[in-house]
Amino acid sequence: MTKIVVAVKYVPDATADRTFSADNTVDRAGVDGLLSELDEYAVEQALQVVEAGEGEVVVLTVGPDDAADAVRKALQMGADAGIHVQDDAIHGSDAFATSAILAAAIEKVGDYDLLFFGMASTDAGLGVVPTLVAERLGLPAVTYASEITVDGETVTIRRDGDVATQEIEATGKLVVSVTDQTGEARYPSFKGIMAAKKKPVEEWTLADLGVDAASVGLDNAWTKVESFEPRPPRTAGEIVTDEGDGGTKLVDFLASKKFV
C-alpha cells in the first residue's frame, strides 16, 4: 500500500502572452491557465507506481479558484482524491512561502509514503520547490528522475545528469521530482472524466494548516521584485535565400562578427 501525494501547479498557458500585474507578480487572472504540462508526468508516474501494486494517489495544489482545474485534470487522469489550498493571503507568495504551505498541507495528510513533483513549473520554472519542501520536512529529494522503480520499501531512481548517470536507492519517505523523460502522460478517458466528478476534493485554508498568514504572500517574501521590463525586441536580422552560396554567406557573417 503506497500513498503518493503529487503536488501540481496551475500555470498561465505558455503559448499565451504572459505578463506581470501592477504589483510585480505574475499575471494569473488575465491569461488562461492549465495544469502545468510538466506536472502531468509526475501524476503519470504516481499512477503507474500505484497501479503496479496497491495504493492511492492524492493530488495537491496551492492557488486561486481556477487552480481547481489543475486538480480536476489530475483526477480525470486517475488520481483518487484532491486537495486545494486556497487563501487570499497566499497571493504573491514566492517559492519559499509556497513550499511552507505545501509542507504544512503534506504534514496534515500525514500518512504518505512518497511525494512526487514535476521537474519544474512552466511559468517560473526554477524547479526548486521540491527541494524546499523536502528541506522543510527533513527529507531527501531525488530531483530530475528519469526512471522510478518501487519495490516494497525500497525506491530506486535513475537520474541522467550532464556528466554521469546515477542510480539512487532510498527507503522511507522521499521527495521525487520527475522529468518528461519518464514517459508520456496519459490523456483522461471519457470514463475517467465522468469518475472524476465523484472524487473528493478537500478545500483547505491557511488556518486549517496552522500557517500564519503573516508568513506568506507578497509583503512577507524574502526577496522582492524591484522592476521588470520586456526584453527589447530583436531587430530584424538579415535573411538570405540559399542560391548555392548560403554557407559562404553564413560564414562571411560570422567572420564580420569575429566568430571565425
Partner 1 sequence: MTEVLVLIDAPDGKVTKPSLELLTIARRIGEPSAIVFGSADNGVLAEYGAEKIYTYDDSAYSDYLVGPKAEAIAQLVGETSPAAVLVAASTEGKEISARVALKTQAGWIGDAVDVQADGGTITTTQSVFAGNFTVQSQITQGAPVISIKPNSTAPEAVAGAGAVEAKTADISDAAKTAKITSSKEKAASGRPELTEAAIVVSGGRGTGGDFTEVEAFADSLGAAVGASRAAVDSGWYPHTFQVGQTGKTVSPQLYVANGISGAIQHRAGMQTSKTIVAVNKDDEAPIFELVDFGVVGDLKAVLPQATEAVKQRKG
Footprint (CB under 8 A) of partner 1, residues 46-75:
none
Q: Does 3 bind partner 1 (CB under 8 A)?
A: no
- Residue among 132 and 206 whose Cβ is closer to partner 1: 132
- Residue among 20 and 112 whose Cβ is closer to partner 1: 20
- Bridge partners of residue 38, in order along the sequence: none
Which residues fall within 8 angstroms of residue 11, CB to CB, at 6 or more apart? 33, 34, 35, 36, 121, 122, 123
Which residues fall within 8 angstroms of residue 247, CB to CB, at 6 or more apart? none
Amino acid found at 191: K
Site for partner 1 in 220-259 (CB under 8 A): 221-231, 234, 237-242, 244-255, 257, 259
Q: Which stretch binds partner 1 (CB under 8 A): 66-74, 84-92, 171-179, 187-195?
A: 171-179
How far is Cα 179 from Cα 74, in angstroms, rounded to an integer? 17
Q: Does 218 bind partner 1 (CB under 8 A)?
A: no
Least distance from C-beta 184 to partner 1, angstroms? 10
Task: Return the residue matching grid coordinates 509583503.
Answer: 219
Asked whether 47 and 150 are in contact (CB, 8 A), the reply is no
Q: Is 6 left (phi over 0), alpha (psi -120 to 50) or beta?
A: beta
Q: Does 214 bind partner 1 (CB under 8 A)?
A: no
Q: Which stretch binds partner 1 (CB under 8 A): 54-62, 80-88, 154-162, 188-196?
A: 154-162
Query: Which position among 65, 163, 198, 210 is part of the footprint of partner 1 (CB under 8 A)?
Result: 163
- Residue among 93 and 143 whose Cβ is closer to partner 1: 143
